[in-house]
Amino acid sequence: MLDLIVRNGNLSDGRKGMDIACRDGRIVELAPAIDARAAREIDAGDRLVTAPFVDAHFHMDATLSYGRPRVNRSGTLLEGITLWGELKPQLTHDAIKSRAHQLCRWAIARGNLAIRSHVDICDPELLAVKALLEVREEIRPFLDLQLVAFPQDGYLRDPKAAVLLQRALDLGVDVIGGIPHFERTMADGARSVRLLCELAADRGLPVDMHCDESDDPLSRHVETLAYETQRLSLQGRVTGSHLTSMHSMDSYYVSKLLPLMREAGLHAVPNPLINITLQGRHDAYPKRRGMTRVPELMAAGINVAMGHDCVMDPWYPLGSHDMLEVAHMGLHVAQMTGTDQMQAAFACVTDNAARVLGLQGYGLEPGCNADLVVLQAADPIEALRLRAVRTHVVRRGQVIAEAKPQITMLHLNGDTETVDFTLSPTQPEPEQSL
């Protein structure tokens, strides 16, 4: 007897009518019309079944703190950092945990079952680190939370940061962070990248830096990050997050930079909702978009994932932790409206993000974890178009979230009809109806 069968699912790679059989937390078979019975059956009804969404970049310590102690009036990154500095002395262990658990519940409802969250270590008490380490363990049955030791005030600029970062790692934080563009000088930024990568090599840990989150085309710390990754043989373990200065860089220089990033096996993580909001703030018109060069990075063979970065915090007043909203914004900002490009945008919040986190057992194949999401959409592109309802979220073969499909009743000319915005198989193809 199986624990669960999901029947008649469309997969993101184009396969249709697939059944997925799960036992003891694993996918045991993936095939059309599996002849078996299970404790629970879900009829996907020719809708998309995908491996869970993954958020490759988030800030769980700041989330859901919007308006405390005040709102970000200028809307800039730097006022956000100042505001976070004002909020930090007011934080409590319990408040951080309660906001983080709330966010995790939103994430699970949206089918996001893995999050890499940066956590600010520039606090002598390491309050947020200790709170989020507890949350990581408490939420583990439902969601993989990976923590990055993030020196928000600068690894070198804040004289306490180096010791605190080591202490955070000793407590069990998973990844080494950094913020080279926030150091006092370009030289200090480069030195921070070198020191942090050496620490990662010593400790055998991955690296994920806020790198060049700036409109300054001369902010080139990603070049140093690629160099140190290569020098220390950290290939595949290092991520450059944001990389917004690449938007403004000279294209000749970028043509040299991309192969260096590829050689180093860097992962790139833009955060479209935040980049389009925070970058270009000092521009008159025309205003730069500020997101990194996603299609060009992909064409160079670099793994690109997208992160949510913020939900209702000092930097961003909106959001509900919906990775489809992230990919939707990302494909618009990057002008990725080709069919393959939209598919690629979907991968940025699923498969590619799982590679950034190094998730084991991720995917819809026999032997993988029985983690999946059923959506009210036929395929990834329709899911993006509609930011579709996640009707079922499954973790280790158990349904952990369910939602009713979104259907609206219309009352027109005395009749009642339903609208659900999907192009269901029973409806004519668009060209036939013209």
Report the interface residues with Fe ion, using CB under 5 A.
Answer: 309
Q: What gap in Å lies between CA 391 and CA 385, rounded to an integer?
A: 16
Laid out side by side, the sheet with 207-211 consists of 53-59, 112-120, 144-150, 175-176, 207-211, 238-242, 267-269, 303-304
| C-beta of 313 vs 371, nearer to Fe ion | 313
Query: Which residues lie closer than 8 Å to 227 by C-beta, 6 or more apart?
Result: 260, 264
- Are residues 420 and 386 in contact, defined by beta-carbon separation less than 8 angstroms? no
| Placement of tokens 């940025």 in the chain | 348
| C-beta of 119 vs 384, nearer to Fe ion | 119
- Give how far Cα 29 sits from Cα of 19, 32, 274, Å: 8, 10, 40
We find the least distance from the C-beta atom of residue 269 to Fe ion, in angstroms, to be 9
The type of residue at 34 is I
| C-beta of 112 vs 369, nearer to Fe ion | 112
431 is catalytic: no
We find the least distance from the C-beta atom of residue 57 to Fe ion, in angstroms, to be 6
Signed CA dihedral, 18, 329, 245, 310: sign only: negative
Nearest 5°: the CA angle 60, 106, 368 is: 90
Annotated active-site residue in 213, 228, 325, 382: 213
| C-beta of 243 vs 331, nearer to Fe ion | 243
Classify residue 17 by its DSSP letter. Answer: S
We find the least distance from the C-beta atom of residue 289 to Fe ion, in angstroms, to be 18
C-beta nearest to Fe ion: residue: 309
| C-beta of 7 vs 57, nearer to Fe ion | 57
We find the least distance from the C-beta atom of residue 259 to Fe ion, in angstroms, to be 26
Neighbouring CB atoms inside 10 A of 357's CB total 23
We find the least distance from the C-beta atom of residue 295 to Fe ion, in angstroms, to be 22
| Active site positions, annotated | 213
